[in-house]
Amino acid sequence: MPAALCRDRFFTSDGGFTVLELLVVISIVGMLLAVSVPASSRFYESMQYRQAIQDVVSLLAGARHRAISTGKAQDVMFDTEYKRVTLNQDVRQLPESFTVLVSAASELGGQSQAVIRFYPEGGSSGGDVELARPDKSGVRISVDWLVGRVTQQPYAFN
């Protein structure tokens, strides 16, 4: 068959898309959106969660390092009401939907504030920071009082 006839057979100019074809395409796009929107929402929340953990751990580890290198005690302040973590002028805002619980020395903090202090010798006042997602899964970030080591572990909130 000559090439011109094959081309004309497949590329006819007498039509467009039928209503049935358009409905099938629209249905497929609708199904893809119905699946992808909740998945992207979960992905965004997971990304926020990982970033919040990283922010808290980096501020705590940075405070320990700064205390050792400068020879001055460094305080990491947690405002559980407004969900903020502060080291000097470095303020990190945690997601509003998360639950933040801090166990620390009561003489260093206030009613809605808790402080974990790092000392120049490498130790700290110690404490735990618990971050929970809305589904009650979360992580416990622990600061060892003796050596100031910062660790994290999964935690289920009740």
Q: Beta-carbon neighbour count of residue 7 at 10 Å?
A: 10
Instruction: Share the mean pLDDT of the chain.
Output: 88
pLDDT band at 25 (very low <50, low <70, confident <90, very high): very high
Q: Which residue has the higher pLDDT, 37 or 110?
A: 37
C-alpha pair distances (Å), 17 with each of 10, 12, 81: 14, 12, 58
Residue identified by tokens 């618990």 is 130
Please state the pTM of the whole predicted model.
Answer: 0.75
Domain range summary for the chain, segments of one domain joined by +: 18-156
CATH for 18-156 is: 3.55.40.10
pLDDT band at 140 (very low <50, low <70, confident <90, very high): very high
Structure confidence by residue, pLDDT tens digits, 91-127? 999 999 999 999 998 777 667 789 999 999 999 999 9
Amino acid at residue number 104:
A
| Calpha distance 145→122 (Å, rounded) | 9
Q: Which residue has the higher pLDDT, 158 or 135?
A: 135
Q: Beta strand 113-118 with 127-132: parallel, antiparallel or unpaired?
A: unpaired
The percentage of residues in the chain with a pLDDT greater than 70, rounded to a whole number, is: 88
Question: What pLDDT is attached to residue 41?
Answer: 82
**Tokens found for residue 10:** 């497949």
